[in-house]
Amino acid sequence: MKGKKVLRIISKALGILLLAIVIMMFGLGAYKTISKYLLRNDMPKIFGYASAIVVSGSMEPEISIDDMVIIKEMEEYVVGEIVTYKSGTTYITHRIVLIDNEEYTLKGDANNTIDDPVSKDQIVGKVVNKIGGIGKVLYWFQTPIGMVVALVILLLIVFSDSIVSKIIKKKKTE
């Protein structure tokens, strides 16, 4: 009897945790989508933080293709830091190699040449963390099959308590 009660409590706690994560991810995704398409802000920040999926190997081995970088807006940047900056309509994540009169010269760790100097206004922020390889997962969840799978997972989470209760009742009758 106690084992079933513990199982039910664990199931409920996991369901609540997963539901909170899904709601948070959905909320962040909705915020980013609204910011990007309605407000024309292609790199929205939340409390000074932004995120981006890396699409080139210019920062190998430090940062790889499909890594997600977490970017924090800073007051000052120093030589050696990895930052993300905007060049035209593209965002680039490279290391600062020189600062001269408010101009920042950057270079990808795997590149042979430096980038054209950029102003501080072009810098989105410093890379403060990365999540390895998550880009593939996030891209997959944006496909039609990925969206269906996400919906099924959400429904399973919402109805997990009911499903566990039915399993327990079935085992009682056996």
What CATH number is given to the structural domain containing 66? 2.10.109.10
pLDDT tier for residue 138 given thresholds of 50, 70 and 90: confident
Give the residue numbers spanning the domain of 112: 42-135
Mean pLDDT for the stretch of residues 73-78: 93
Give how many domains the chain has, as a whole number: 2
Give the Cα separation of 89 and 133 in Å (integer). Answer: 24
Residues 62 and 8 in one domain: no
Q: Are 68 and 135 in contact (CB under 8 A)?
A: yes
Residues 88 and 105 in one domain: yes
Query: Tokens 């948070």 identify what position?
Result: 24
What confidence score (pLDDT) does residue 107 get? Answer: 96
Residues 118 and 57 in one domain: yes
pLDDT tier for residue 171 given thresholds of 50, 70 and 90: low
pTM exceeds 0.75, yes or no = no
Of 106, 116, 114, residue with least CA distance to 83: 106
Residues 102 and 127 in one domain: yes
Residues 80 and 107 in one domain: yes
Q: Determine which of 14-23, 133-142, 165-174 has the lowest per-residue pLDDT on average.
A: 165-174
Work out the number of other CB atoms within 10 angstroms of the CB of residue 113: 6
What confidence score (pLDDT) does residue 143 get? Answer: 73
Of 21, 28, 24, 18, residue with least CA distance to 159: 18
Residues 91 and 147 in one domain: no
pLDDT tier for residue 110 given thresholds of 50, 70 and 90: very high
Give the Cα separation of 105 and 100 in Å (integer). Answer: 8
Residue 19 pLDDT > 60:
yes
pLDDT tier for residue 163 given thresholds of 50, 70 and 90: low
